[in-house]
Structure 1
């Protein structure tokens, strides 16, 4: 490819359908709308790059009524640029063209252009996951719902060989959630099974410490976002005194002053979702600041299709993660794209024997 080039952009809209009612503290999810971004060039029209913009309802900064029209406007602007085809320049041009408050569009365009730049084979970045088929450990996710539904999920994940289980809490009674966690702990010690919980901000500041103390009795690894985002002083106090490590999740969304936030709250971990944080460039900056301050992190998908999930896996792989990541969402949808992404025995792998289904 030449150093500078014009790129044509378009998109395909798809409604993904969940295989079950996916319960969160913000309500039940039945479908997820995604926008697959297509990047191509007249210089080599047979090479296509694909990215994905997939805002999360009630959570993404760009979950707004005019999202699709804004996406169209940005793609017109992007098609008028002269692109310098290096990874650093591509990421810079995307962040300079698309405002910070459209993070999922930034991520989708980054991925589409990098895919195009690397030959249109879903190769986004240099990484061992895609290049060497190196597996990555992931957690098994337990969705909210009726007690029996959650218990059935737990049994299935344990049977499938996961040694890290993450359970969403905050939708049913706390006592029943403790019973479910105790059910796992009665069979497996903390050395055998790592337990994480995600409260999605379900606790009030007044009740949080008591609940964290009870969770800690079950040797829980960590809790994500125990109280709702936007209460930095309360979260700081909680991180200081909690018997359970705290991971910030929603707290990071829409934040540009990364170091200021992490220095103020001083969490034990942060959770990284590129499509909510502004894409690859912004996510790398979060990692850099977190590691500077001795804060742990792991990557999590935000219910993307396999196009977005593939890119997040490749980005994560660049850091050679040793702890389980939240990247096991590919089987959630009935109509996801077929792909080489495969989950086996608590790991996600890129299986070269499987082909990509093209967006349509």
Structure 2
């Protein structure tokens, strides 16, 4: 046994503790803490403007090592997540209470089994939080969720620069800033302002950079009516787009399938995956629609095991994918980034959300010229 230096989340003091075997069965205790994230700007989406976002930190400890704790984040997206519920906080507190004092074996597969057995699939962000917290705790509470060169060797993850919906001038300002910051993949949310104005913005980017210099993605968040979608996609083809996310609202399986067959712009499913569980149902959905891409948000899909299953099915069907955060704080973003780094993918990921909030949790996650980097010299905040 050796000495472990850990951070007490209540006192912010570094303490020394005798190292214990974290992989044995442990009797654990859970609690949750609410945190209101404040956006630095009015974040426009097709479902409204976000100024704040409620999120919850799930903390796991044991009496055997009281100064070591794991942390995960449960932050359902308003009007989108299955568990966007008025009594979400009470449900989370109840689960923390019910699962406390149970014995948990801290191997990865046992953690996944524990979460799947004890937390219903109708609460996907809570599943994600408990998986993250337990994996963190199993690695001695160092915010190491998945080990990879991303953490140990500063291996960077390419990410897209996100352009939020808003007035044309505001979107133009964001575009210029992202281009100056060195991003070579830009994702623009569309569907909030006049379609012709959005095309003008895409034309502006293409007037400066061709497709070999800047990759362009757009995200419609289901804003197109099915009867007009193909016409709009034909118009968007002029801008050499990499892909469009969720052009029509989810749940219109036959219409989306037909659109994927005819589209001149590759389609990525996003919201379409929410609420689909089980190998058979996931496989059936992807076979029926046959999209060019899928986009994966572990907070919305029910955690890492569920997300990994989507990846395995997609790869078996030659469907490409990328990972995206769901407006988590740096706690959730860190877990998703580390998970992403365990896969061999070269596509830019949607993991550039760490700079959205005034009061985010300080972390080693930094962005350098369109890449997400884990700087081990930086410290985690509280």
Partner of 1:357: 381
Q: Which residue of 1 aligns with 2:356?
A: 332
Is 1:27 the counterpart of 2:48? The answer is yes
Deviation at residue 264 of structure 1 after TM alignment: 0.6
Is 1:347 aligned to residue 371 of structure 2?
yes
Query: Counterparts in 2 of 1:201-280, with a 5 A limit?
Result: 201-256=222-277, 257-280=281-304
> For the residues of structure 2 that align with 1:92 and 1:264, how far apart are their CA atoms?
29
Q: Residue 145 in 1 paired to residue 166 in 2?
A: yes
**1:205 and 1:343 mapped to 2: Cα distance?**
37
Q: Secondary structure at the match of 2:322?
A: strand
**Equivalent residue for 1:313, pick from 325, 337, 344:** 337
Tell me the equivalent position of 1:44: 65
In 2: Cα distance, 1:171 partner to 1:222 partner: 18
TM-score calculated relative to the size of structure 1: 0.98
- The structure 2 residue matched to 1:298, chosen from 312, 322, 325, is 322
State the secondary structure of the residue aligned to 1:175: helix
Contact 1:51 1:108 in 2 (8 A): yes
Give 1:127 shift. 1.7
Q: What secondary structure is seen at the aligned counterpart in 1 of 2:239? A: coil
In 1: Cα distance, 2:343 partner to 2:234 partner: 32
In the alignment, the residues of structure 2 paired with residue 16 and residue 26 of structure 1 have an alpha-carbon distance, to the nearest angstrom, of 18
Q: Which runs of 4+ in 1 moved over 2 A?
A: none
Shift of 1:77: 2.1
Q: Tell me the CA shift for residue 154 of structure 1.
A: 0.2
Return the TM-score normalized by structure 2: 0.93
Aligned to 2:128: 107
CA deviation after TM superposition for structure 1 residue 3, in Å: 1.5
Q: Deviation at 1:82?
A: 1.4
Equivalent in 175, 180, 198 of residue 201 of structure 2: 180
Is 1:86 the counterpart of 2:100? The answer is: no
Aligned counterpart, 2:18: none
8 Å contact from structure 1 (residues 136, 321) kept in 2? no
Which shows bigger deviation, 121-130 or 326-335?
A: 121-130
Confirm or deny: 8 A CA contact 1:208 1:227 kept in the other structure. yes
How much has 1:79 moved relative to structure 2?
Answer: 1.3
1:213 Cα deviation from its structure 2 partner: 0.6
Map Cα deviations across residues 258-299 of structure 1 (whole Å, 9 max, x no partner).
101000100000000000000011000000000000000000
For 2:217 and 2:113, locate their aligned partners in 1 and report how far apart those are by CA, in whole Å.
35
Shift of 1:76: 1.7
Deviation at 1:320, TM superposition (A): 2.9
- Aligned Cα root-mean-square deviation (Å): 0.7
Long gaps (5+) in structure 2? 1-20
